[in-house]
């Protein structure tokens, strides 16, 4: 007799019984019915709940490998262990009615990528999934009672961030687990990348909340005298009552055009201003931004732009300036986001001495078209587009693989001439002409 026959029979239960079990599970998740779990595993805390932003019925997470390969050998009841091993087998776990199956249009195994405080990432199952698995086995009469929970030390409750992921089969899960293992080793060697990755995921979470105002600011100055500002541009996005609105402004300083003439687009609205008017308008901008707090200021050179704003040329008061991004959406404050740092996190650059990539370089690799006319206004729009492109994408590692599928390592390696407009196109190809 096929050892998996009983599992297939129970997975092929009638639709009405399946709906009954699903309804019971929904009641359990909502807390309407108390789930018998035996001894308390851990004491949950508000800090843990906030850090992972998970529903109250998820008390923690288990490693996928522990549940798939180590759970059934730990059971003392041999019959229950055999039934658990069968339901977690390769043939059974791919069934659409499997208790670990993903809900939604994408079939497969529902799991999570959990990131810890040291930057290490692991594949996890939630405690709710394990509870469901126990209850499902008992409801289908595959086990004599509710099987014991895994040992409490196997549960992770202090998880920094959690991202859901669906695997088509256990082989895909195994491949991802190996990739995460290589990435964890790389993070040990490049600790700078840990902070960059945390920052990237926080930006994604904050952007998804669709609150506050996100302003891309760009200032252009004369190369020989950085106090001679030629033009200033900003492009912002804000949400009010779940409705998104955008605004674009380009100010050209009349007095400084003799030092650096601003290239202008045809049929694009600009405003010629004096130095005094520019200072007033910049201060008015931040006053208006404060009315839609929190404010997220996106720049291609946040340190340089901050110096400009606090200089005598503008004297912008920034009492609510915060240099570290929050883990949850705040109600006030001004937060700086550096576009090159986001790009370094996405490409896996762990070098602390990495120079800030140019806006053209970043847009080139993100496949964002840059405007042919470069000025503070068009650059501000490109900054916001590049930021939105990364912030609205999927989890960092998934996004990196989608953008550069031919790159298999954590650190994306670009060719010297790839995306660098200053690199000589013919260098190393055509030999120098010999003189007679």
Whether 29 has a pLDDT exceeding 70, the answer reads no
Per-residue pLDDT at 35: 30
Spatial strand order in the sheet of 121-126: 61-63, 121-126, 109-115, 161-167
Mean pLDDT of 87-102: 88
Mean pLDDT of 363-367: 92
Per-residue pLDDT at 66: 93
Tens of pLDDT, residue by residue over 179-215, are 899 989 999 999 999 999 989 999 999 999 999 999 9
Whether 265 has a pLDDT exceeding 80, the answer reads no
Quote the CA–CA distance of 341 and 363 in Å, as a whole number: 14
Q: Mind listing the domains of the chain with CATH numbers?
A: 5-189 (no CATH), 204-403 (3.30.420.10)
Quote the crossing angle between the two packed helices 339-347 and 192-208, to the nearest 10°: 110
Mean pLDDT, the chain, as a whole number?
A: 82
Whether 432 has a pLDDT exceeding 60, the answer reads no
Per-residue pLDDT at 51: 36
Q: pTM for this one? A: 0.74
- Cis check for the bond before 333: say yes or no (omega within 30 of 0): no
Per-residue pLDDT at 168: 87
């Amino acid at each position: 007799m096929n050892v998996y026959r009983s599992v297939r029979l129970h997975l092929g239960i009638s639709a009405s019984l399946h709906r009954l079990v699903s309804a019971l599970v929904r009641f359990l998740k909502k807390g309407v019915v108390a789930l018998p779990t035996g001894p308390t595993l851990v004491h949950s805390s508000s800090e843990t709940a906030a850090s992972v932003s998970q529903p109250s019925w998820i008390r923690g997470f288990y490693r996928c490998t522990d549940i798939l390969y180590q759970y059934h050998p730990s059971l003392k009841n041999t019959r229950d262990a055999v039934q658990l091993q069968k339901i977690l087998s390769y043939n059974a776990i791919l069934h659409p009615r499997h208790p670990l199956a993903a809900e939604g249009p994408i079939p497969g195994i529902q799991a999570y990528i959990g990131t810890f405080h040291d930057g290490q990432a692991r594949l996890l199952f939630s405690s709710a999934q394990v509870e469901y698995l126990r209850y499902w086995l008992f409801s289908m009469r595959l086990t004599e009672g509710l099987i014991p929970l895994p040992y409490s030390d196997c549960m992770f409750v202090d998880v920094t961030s959690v991202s859901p992921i669906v695997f088509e089969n256990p082989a895909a899960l195994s491949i991802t687990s190996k990739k995460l293992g290589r990435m964890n080793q790389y993070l040990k060697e490049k600790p700078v990348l840990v902070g960059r990755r945390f920052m990237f995921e926080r930006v994604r979470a904050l952007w998804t909340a669709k609150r506050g105002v996100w302003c891309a600011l760009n200032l252009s100055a004369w190369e020989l005298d950085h106090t001679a500002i030629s033009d200033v541009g900003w492009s912002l996005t804000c949400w009010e009552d779940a409705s998104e609105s955008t605004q674009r402004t380009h100010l050209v300083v009349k007095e400084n055009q003799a030092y650096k003439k601003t290239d202008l687009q045809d049929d694009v609205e600009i405003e010629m201003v004096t130095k005094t008017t520019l200072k007033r308008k910049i201060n008015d901008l931040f006053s208006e931004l404060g009315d839609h707090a929190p404010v997220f200021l996106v720049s291609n050179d946040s340190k340089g732009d901050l110096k400009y704003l606090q200089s005598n040329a503008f004297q912008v008061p920034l009492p609510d300036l915060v240099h570290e991004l929050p883990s949850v959406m705040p109600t006030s404050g001004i937060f700086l986001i550096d576009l090159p740092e986001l790009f370094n996190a996405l490409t896996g650059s762990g070098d602390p001495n990495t120079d800030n990539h140019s806006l053209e370089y970043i847009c080139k690799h993100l496949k964002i078209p840059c405007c042919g006319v470069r000025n503070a206004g068009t650059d501000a729009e490109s900054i916001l587009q590049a930021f939105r492109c990364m912030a609205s994408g999927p989890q960092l590692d998934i996004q990196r693989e989608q953008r550069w599928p031919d790159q298999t390592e954590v650190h994306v390696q670009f060719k010297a001439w790839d995306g660098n407009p200053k690199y000589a196109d013919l260098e190393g190809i055509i030999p120098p002409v010999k003189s007679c």
